[in-house]
Amino acid sequence: MADVNQSLASSTSAANRALWISTVAFTLCFAVWTLFAIIGIRIKQELGLSEAEFGLLIGLPVLTGSLSRILLGIWTGRHGGRLVYTATMLAAALATFLLSRASTYPEMLIAGLGVGLAGGSFAVGVAYVSPFFPPERQGTALGIFGAGNVGAAVTKFLAPFVLLAWGWQAVAEIWALALAVMAVVFWFTTSDDPEHRRRKLHGHAPKPFLQEFAPLKNPRVWRFSLYYFFAFGGFVALSLWLPRYLVGAYGFDLETAGMVATAYSIPGSIFRAYGGVLSDRIGARAVMYLVFLVSAVATAILALPATPPFAIGPIVFVVAVFVLGFVMSLGKAAVFKHVAAYYPESIGAVGGVVGMVGGLGGFVLPVAFGILKDMTGLWSSCFLLLFFLIAVSLCWMHRTVRRIPASAARPGASA
């Protein structure tokens, strides 16, 4: 009996260590991934870049970080998260260091491809952390891990001070060093996940590579991807768009608008952990219903045109957008609770696809917001687009749920 208790304690300790070290690592990865949001402004000034060139520079890491998630997720399933996570961090750290040595625009774009790998680490972490926990705790664990999104706020807060003191190259060097040190710490303080250890113990070979993509034929995967396109992609898009919105629609000065956007980003990342806890307690499906219904009301209010008698004041706007950000954070966690519950054997591939689509939302939606503003002249048109996404997602989910027999529900996936 003592041996059993000791084994359980050891297993719990390894799981908690893997979770917390992975979360710190993901926080640093996310900080690196969003580096161009700060240093890109200085690079634009030094190289005299056009707006289009600047947009490509800051958008390329977001794009490559999103697209790489599916391949990194599959590699994690085949080779283990400890190895792939460490290798991904080292590769991103090297690219970030080489960025500090770049002097031409093409060199910076090439370095940006490697920097984008830091964003791809999300798929690795999800596939690595999940097997350490039973289904009834996976939502909480993945919610805590996903709170590493707060790394974006770390960069927004610290990078300007380093840039003003030593230049943008120093920012890249310090961030690269921090990520490289984290990779070493991660390798020496964590262990292989239980699923990977089981495969090695029994000599199970990885499934054929093309078979990794088999679950992607299921429409459910793409339904979850649409949820994440809204919950994560929409959240990232709004955090980028809010400063321009507040300046243009309400006449805020840039400093105040930036503070509001930062205040929106930080709680929105941290509350993702609560979304995981809630998904474990009442079911991910119930959380998603809550997310979509509250989001529909919030975006309907925010979509009102800024003309009498419909115009809403800045206080109502800020309250509504913060409510929207809060429920989006719950949704981000609930989506991956769904993924872990329905695809425990393919979480690398499925989680990679869902994460990729969500990341693409953060790249595509700000562009769509700008196009809609130019076409309609309405700042609030971006919320009309989000309302449409919510309506499609909610209808698709509800229609599917009504067809699912109660016996087919997965543990934790439904209330």
Percentages helix, strand, coil for the chain, rounded to the nearest 5?
Answer: 85, 0, 15
Place of tokens 């029994």: 202
**Higher-confidence position of 60 and 309:** 60
Q: What is the pLDDT of residue 3?
A: 45
Contact 229, 357 (CB under 8 A): yes
Mean pLDDT calculated for residue range 279-296: 93
pLDDT of residue 413: 57
Q: Is the pLDDT of residue 306 over 80?
A: no
User: Of the ranges 125-139, 242-256, 374-388, which one carries the lowest mean pLDDT score?
Assistant: 242-256
Nearest to 274 by CA among 112, 91, 140, 120: 140
Q: Is it the case that residue 26 has pLDDT exceeding 90?
A: yes
Taking the alpha carbons of 320, 325, 326, 331 in that order, is the dihedral positive or negative? Answer: positive
What is the set of domains in the chain, with CATH numbers?
11-192 (1.20.1250.20), 218-415 (1.20.1250.20)
The answer, yes or no, to whether residue 53 has pLDDT greater than 70, is yes
Over 60: is that where the pLDDT of 290 sits?
yes
Among 162-176, 337-351, 372-386, which stretch is predicted with the lowest mean pLDDT?
337-351
**Confidence (pLDDT) at 134:** 87
pLDDT of res. 4: 40
Q: What is the pLDDT of residue 364?
A: 87
By mean pLDDT, which of 17-26, 202-211, 361-370 is the weakest? 202-211
Structure tokens given for 322: 């913060």
116-137 in b/e form (b: 16+ CB < 10 A) is: bbbbbbbbbbbbbbbbbbebeb
Phi, psi (5° rounding) for residue 104?
-120, 160
Exposure on the CB side of residue 63, measured as CA atoms within 13 A: 13
- List Cα–Cα distances, 129 to 26, 123, 225, in angstroms: 12, 10, 20
Q: Which of 67, 120, 80, 141 is nearest to 341 (CA)?
A: 141
What's the pLDDT at 6? 47
Global pTM?
Answer: 0.80
In this predicted structure, what is the pLDDT of residue 49?
A: 81
Name the residue with higher pLDDT: 198 or 381.
Answer: 381
Please name which of 148, 72, 82 lies closest in space to residue 352, comparing C-alpha atoms.
72
Query: What pLDDT score was predicted for residue 294?
Result: 97
Q: Across all residues in the chain, what is the average pLDDT?
A: 85
Q: Which of these, 127, 126, 73, 69, lies nearest to 349 by C-alpha position?
A: 73
Can you tell me which residue has the tokens 């809609």?
A: 372
Q: Pick the closest to residue 398 from 286, 249, 266 (CA basis).
A: 286
What is the three-class DSSP state of 344? coil
Share of the chain above pLDDT 90, in %: 37
Distance CA 172, CA 169 (A): 5
- pLDDT at position 205 is 62
Note whether 313 and 246 are within 8 A (CB).
no
Q: What mean pLDDT is predicted for residues 86-95? A: 96
Q: Any idea which of 18-27, 58-67, 263-272 has the lowest mean pLDDT?
A: 263-272
**Percentage of the chain surpassing pLDDT 70?**
91
- pLDDT of 200 strictly over 50: yes
CB environment 347-386: b (16+ within 10 A), e (fewer): bbbbbbbbbbbbbbbbbbbbeebeebbeeeebbbbbbbbb
Tell me, what's the pLDDT at 117?
93
Q: pLDDT tens-digit profile of 366-414?
A: 888 888 888 888 889 999 999 999 999 999 999 998 887 654 555 555 5
